[in-house]
Chains A and B, each alone.
Chain A
């Protein structure tokens, strides 16, 4: 049996060198809140753990010309206290409030949450509505990929093992009048989402939605934007009936992806209900 080594690189270059050589036998530790559980349960048996938590390249929340940049090593607590995100990505900030527990939020990172590829990852739907791209680094250079495309299935990450997520670039929520993140779980805190969802919209004075984005998590193998639901509402006045119809459509589209399973009995109605509840503040009679 090979020995486990803990590596904490001083520089990004060192980290990328390590990944280049040992990527396939390595697991990246950003906060560690998922990885340490996987190690305990024997679900992860790497030879190397690369602790990237102290690389400054992975830190910081900034507004850049490309968009809002959130470092992959930013913790959920940092997201929670970010004024920049409150202004430019309020749904992302909101998801941090109900993310696991304070103890976990203090350590867990957005990069780790995305790369873990849990279908229930709370940061993913808010990132997806911002059409967020992950900036990836390796010895081969930099490239970008849509967050929506990172997971190839539940807990299956499509990124090659020599790449490291540096940061996420979010399209800022320009002139958005509404943004929300909601989740349904079995209790109020310390909860794994049964369903989670993020939405943002711009509502004109006449009630019409001139912009609408929506993403659903926990229900499909990977969290997705729901284009049919978006186009159902985009450009229209969200009456109670229309929102109800959008909810029904969301449930229908979700089942089209997953097929019917035992959990569908609940989820079909609850997905529908969650969208209706979430968009209720937009309803214009």
Chain B
């Protein structure tokens, strides 16, 4: 198949790379709009309080302050959120976290804006806060939102857990915990805007979802759709945090009232304070396996701390239980999940939506069973791994593209070698070596809900092609991949496809750049649009060249007869002929994966049309005297269906391993204490192991050229693999992330390794 493709499977130059290496790419903070007013929000600094009064008079008297806005100034509906609308952009009645904005200043300079913030007087009446989600679930807990603190819950039930456990030889029950994690995109959030000559509010933003931004800004301001235009500026990473309305609403509000250019560039400190975090999860998990190691039952309770607002919390609370079994067939499950409000920072989407957390639990459980039953951890995974024909916890039966077995087989030789060579060889004094495996599955797209994408492919009269997509390329490379897909269908070089992306004036909704969905979903929408155009072109070429459509192909901007390349007609000529007949050269594609909503009582349904799979192997060295962990090597096998751009897939895998390593070992966001990048550590190049990426292609019939997704899967198995390797090295397991110095040294001491070398 691969040989037949001319654009797919090729690691072409990435769209935008030249602009980025030369510093010409314009990120939001780089956009020059005359002399814009500077925006800054006053944040509450207290976790839970009623707002009694806000007095802005003193601030307004400061020279250079153009305006101070409060909730009263919002003309439309002051509630945002992509799933549940529960987050005002400026708080009117109460604040629910230390980051909650209560007023927005527009001033001539940064310094003046800072002064104005200090001059705003807010009277609060403090309310008792709640920070522990389990406590927040109690009846008498302080209510973060009037409707109660349990934001959402989800049950997944199948089979008979009770009787299945009686048939188990090995039963393991443990509680796992993870912490707040900061996305730490290297670009802090930023945006800028102006009012166009026709009165449209034009907002440039660092965003993963311009069409959602548009909807919420329009609602916030009570404007007609065409009066707001969102343009995605070059975006310096997202990982989920730029799915929320961060600065976009503030910019819209200021433009609405002031009608002059404004900008809002978060400092790193404000980006830490004011944007979403990864949900800390507590996961109580009980699993049982028979004497052969076959997993028979799982019972789990998952509590997701969503903090003050929902953001993508419902998606996390839904996805975590659906993925709780891991990539294994378990017939009997009883899983409950709760998304709970607290007065912590709000938690939202972060690469994996709860799956990285739950994978830590299921991958620890399977290793514990293997140890308990005296089985090899890799063999036990292989035995239980999903395959075509097996049934998931939601009752979905796999019909194709189940690459977990292939991924496990791909790491097998590395695993065998590590067991023989690495762990068997004597380590340096006071060092222990370990090997661990992490496996995962990941449903592509949103969970059991519609999440369509659209795209338009247009041909001009000169035969040139433009792809219009609302898909935000945040660095992962979607623009490149989508242009390859269009180019493949139309027989063009990908560079010949002009791109118009993520501008709500010119593009239609492609949905969020999240859930690893753009290659699969937007890729299909682009493919469909391009195929419709291709069909029109071929119909016209058929008439002109007098051969059947099936005898035609495209190459280099021409339609030609297969095997007779001299019999050809250029796209330009075809375009003219089609146009003259009044037919369209502009085609819209639409794709929405086939899913069946999950039953509210049992969680049965088809949450995703397809799944990505992966298995990673980690080799670690643990210093038993200090708790330092060095990850020496990671072998990462990922079933992506089809790699449209193999080097981008490898880039995602290696970047995911880095983020997973940070999640495993060093990243920990402490609300109120983690203030700047001095306090939060992401991996440097020196922390990175040698990564051996292995691309597994188990084609997905419904995917564009068989492709699925890789963005989130890349990260998910890494922390479990590292934690299993640490447990292998020390003989003692950690049940909380990160495996920081403190926890690892405590484990080393508990294991009896903290003693003089023999």
Contact = CB atoms under 8 A, between A and B. Distances in A.
In the complex, A touching B (Cβ < 8 A) = yes
Interface string B613-629: 00000000001111110
A270 interface: yes
Interface string A261-273: 0000110011011
Interface string A172-208: 0000000000001011111110100000000000000
A12 interface: no
B684 A188 contact: yes
Interface in B411-437: 429-430
B626 A273 contact: yes
8 contacts: A189-B685, A189-B686, A269-B754, A272-B625, A273-B626, A276-B625, A277-B623, A283-B757
Interface stretch (B372-380, B440-448, B740-748): B740-748
A273 B754 CA distance: 8
B430 A280 contact: yes
Given A266-B741, A270-B741, A276-B430, A189 B687 contact: yes
Nearest to A278: B625
B626 A274 contact: yes
Sorted nearest first, the 7 A-B pairs with minimum C-beta distance are A273-B625, A188-B686, A189-B686, A266-B742, A244-B756, A189-B684, A240-B756
Interface in B120-153: none
Given A240-B757, A244-B756, A280-B757, A184 B684 contact: no
Contacts of A191: 681
A204 B587 CA distance: 85
A266 B627 contact: yes
Given A189-B687, A273-B625, A277-B625, A241 B742 contact: no
A82 B678 CA distance: 29
B666 interface: yes
A187 B666 contact: yes
A270 B757 contact: no
Given A187-B666, A274-B625, A269 B745 contact: yes
Interface of B: 429-430, 623-628, 630, 666, 678, 681, 683-687, 740-742, 745-746, 749, 754-757
A270 B630 CA distance: 16
A192 B678 contact: yes
A283 B756 CA distance: 11
Classify the secondary structure of B's interface with A. loop
A276 B756 contact: yes
A276 B754 CA distance: 10
A67 to B, nearest CB: 33
Given A188-B686, A240-B756, A273 B681 contact: no
A241 B626 CA distance: 18
Given A187-B683, A190-B684, A280 B628 contact: no
Contacts, number: 68
Contacts of A276: 430, 625, 756
B626 A270 contact: yes
Nearest to A192: B678
Given A240-B756, A244-B756, A269-B754, A186 B740 contact: yes
Nearest to B683: A187
Contacts of A266: 627, 741-742, 745-746
A265 B743 CA distance: 10
Interface in A231-266: 240-241, 243-244, 265-266
Q: A184, A273, A276, A283 — which one has the most chain B CB atoms within 10 A of its CB?
A: A273
Given A184-B626, A280-B430, A273 B686 contact: no
Nearest to B740: A186
Contact of B684 (A187, A243, A244, A274): A187
Contact of B666 (A186, A240, A243, A265): A186
Contact of B745 (A186, A243, A270): A270
Contacts of A192: 678
A265 B745 CA distance: 10
Given A240-B756, A269-B749, A280 B429 contact: yes
Interface residues of A, number: 24
A192 B740 CA distance: 15
A277 B687 contact: no
A244 B758 CA distance: 12
A188 B756 contact: no
Contact of A188 (B430, B626, B687, B754): B687
A206 to B, nearest CB: 21
A210 to B, nearest CB: 23
A184 B754 contact: no
Contact of A270 (B627, B666, B681, B756): B627
Contacts of A277: 430, 623, 625-626
Contacts of B630: 188
B686 to A, nearest CB: 4
A274 B630 CA distance: 16
A194 B744 CA distance: 15
Contacts of A273: 430, 623-626, 745, 754
Given A266-B745, A273-B626, 10 more contacts: A187-B687, A188-B686, A192-B678, A265-B746, A270-B741, A272-B625, A273-B624, A276-B756, A280-B757, A283-B757
Nearest to B624: A273
Contact of B681 (A184, A186, A244, A274): A186
Nearest to B667: A186
Contacts of B681: 186-187, 191
Q: A240, A269, A274 — which one has the most chain B CB atoms within 10 A of its CB?
A: A269
Nearest to A242: B756
Nearest to B742: A266
A82 to B, nearest CB: 23
A184 B687 contact: no
A188 B683 CA distance: 8
Nearest to A265: B742
A189 B630 CA distance: 12
Contacts of B683: 187
Contacts of B678: 192
A131 B90 CA distance: 58
Nearest to B678: A192
Contacts of B430: 273, 276-277, 280
Given A240-B757, A273-B625, A273-B754, A186 B742 contact: no
Interface string A26-70: 000000000000000000000000000000000000000000000
Q: B630, B755, B757 — which one has the most chain A CB atoms within 10 A of its CB?
A: B757
Contacts of B756: 240-241, 243-244, 276
Contact of A184 (B685, B741, B749): B741
A265 B625 CA distance: 14
Nearest to A283: B757
Nearest to B628: A184
B387 to A, nearest CB: 39
B466 to A, nearest CB: 42
Q: B666, B756, B757 — which one has the most chain A CB atoms within 10 A of its CB?
A: B756
A283 B430 CA distance: 13
Contacts of A184: 626, 628, 741
Contacts of B685: 189
Contacts of B687: 187-189
A276 B756 CA distance: 8
Contacts of B625: 269-270, 272-274, 276-277
A277 B430 CA distance: 7
A187 B741 CA distance: 10
A194 B745 contact: no
B748 to A, nearest CB: 9
Contacts of B741: 184, 186, 194, 266, 270
Q: B624, B626, B742, B754 — which one has the most chain A CB atoms within 10 A of its CB?
A: B626
Nearest to B749: A269
Contacts of A241: 756
Nearest to A101: B684
B580 to A, nearest CB: 62
